[in-house]
Amino acid sequence: MDRTVLLISTLLALVGAVWGAVSVHRGSRTWWTLVFIAGAFVAQLFFLEWRGQMRGACPLRDQGEILVFLAWSLTLFYLVVGRPYRLSLVGLFTAPVVVLFQAAALWPGVMSLDPERSVGVDAWREAHAAVSVLAYGAFALAAVTGVMFLVLDRQLKEHHLQSGLFRNLPPVRELLAAVMRLLWIGYALLTFGIVAGWMMSHRGGWSHLIAAVAVWVLYGILLMWQRMWGLTGRRLSLVALVLFLVSLGVFGVV
């Protein structure tokens, strides 16, 4: 049943992505992308609730659950941060990433079909896992917004101004401000996640926490660099994208 709900969520995100892409190609904007992504979000909530019940803990025990939690976190930030700041087109760019993460989670063998129930819940471990994945959701949306900037930047540089995508993309300055805002939100959450990670028991060793701290340091350098010396929009966006992709490796270090 949980996989069916996840499949529904993935299909809703896919329809939202295709619908949004077709509308933008025609030069118009549509609320349907938001509606479909909101539907996908509700289905994600049901899925996570189910898995949480099965686990008796926060459902972040296998790669599949982590991917879905990450997709949920990304969707949450889109709904909370993207909309109010008039970055509605973020939905069009977010939906494919959600589809990608959830399709990977649905891939046979990635998610346990019969999840093991946790015995004795470590509150710090739960907090570390949940808050860190939320942080990665913010970093993911920063990367998505960075990609939007890169697309717009290329169109402006090459004077290709006729596409529906160009007309609907938010201004350069708003996109860059959104990237920075999301990076700071993600960084604050990751800081808390790492503190919680420090406090939890370390039966499996310290390698995961060391990897998380390395990611924290890299994002810290990016934010400080931007604050002190500044970066071109292109470099900021590329670094945000590359850092996010690299940081996904943390989930492989358990």
Does 203 interact with other proteins (rule: CB under 8 A)? no
Q: In angstroms, what is the minimal distance from the CB of 161 to other proteins?
A: 6
Does 56 interact with other proteins (rule: CB under 8 A)? no
Cβ neighbours of residue 140 under 8 Å, at least 6 residues apart?
A: 70, 73, 74, 77, 97, 244
Q: In angstroms, what is the minimal distance from the CB of 242 to other proteins?
A: 16
Does 174 interact with other proteins (rule: CB under 8 A)? yes
Does 232 interact with other proteins (rule: CB under 8 A)? yes
Does 171 interact with other proteins (rule: CB under 8 A)? yes
Does 231 interact with other proteins (rule: CB under 8 A)? yes
Residues constituting the chain: 254
| Contact residue for other proteins among 45, 172, 213, 223 (CB under 8 A) | 172
Does 156 interact with other proteins (rule: CB under 8 A)? yes
Report residue 144 as tokens.
């998505």
Q: Which is nearer to other proteins, 4 or 232 (CB)?
A: 232
Q: Which of residues 11-30 bind other proteins (CB under 8 A)?
A: 27
Does 159 interact with other proteins (rule: CB under 8 A)? yes
Give Cα 191 to chain centroid, integer Å.
Answer: 17
| Contact residue for other proteins among 173, 202, 205, 249 (CB under 8 A) | 173
Place of tokens 């660099």: 225
Q: Output Rg (C-alpha) for the chain, integer angstroms.
A: 18
Q: In angstroms, what is the minimal distance from the CB of 122 to other proteins?
A: 44
Q: Which stretch binds other proteins (CB under 8 A): 52-60, 75-83, 166-174, 202-210?
A: 166-174
Does 230 interact with other proteins (rule: CB under 8 A)? yes
Does 224 interact with other proteins (rule: CB under 8 A)? no
Q: What burial letters (b/e) apply to 87-106, b meaning 16+ CB within 10 Å? A: bbbbbbbbbbbbbebbbebb
Give Cα 172 to chain centroid, integer Å.
Answer: 21
Does 83 interact with other proteins (rule: CB under 8 A)? no
Does 109 interact with other proteins (rule: CB under 8 A)? no
Q: How far is 172 from 44, CA to CA, in rounded Å?
A: 32
| Contact residue for other proteins among 235, 246, 249, 254 (CB under 8 A) | 235
The CA–CA distances, whole Å, from 40 to 12, 85, 173, 196 equal: 5, 21, 30, 30
Q: Could you tell me the sign of the dihedral formed by the alpha carbons of 12, 13, 19, 22, in that order?
A: negative
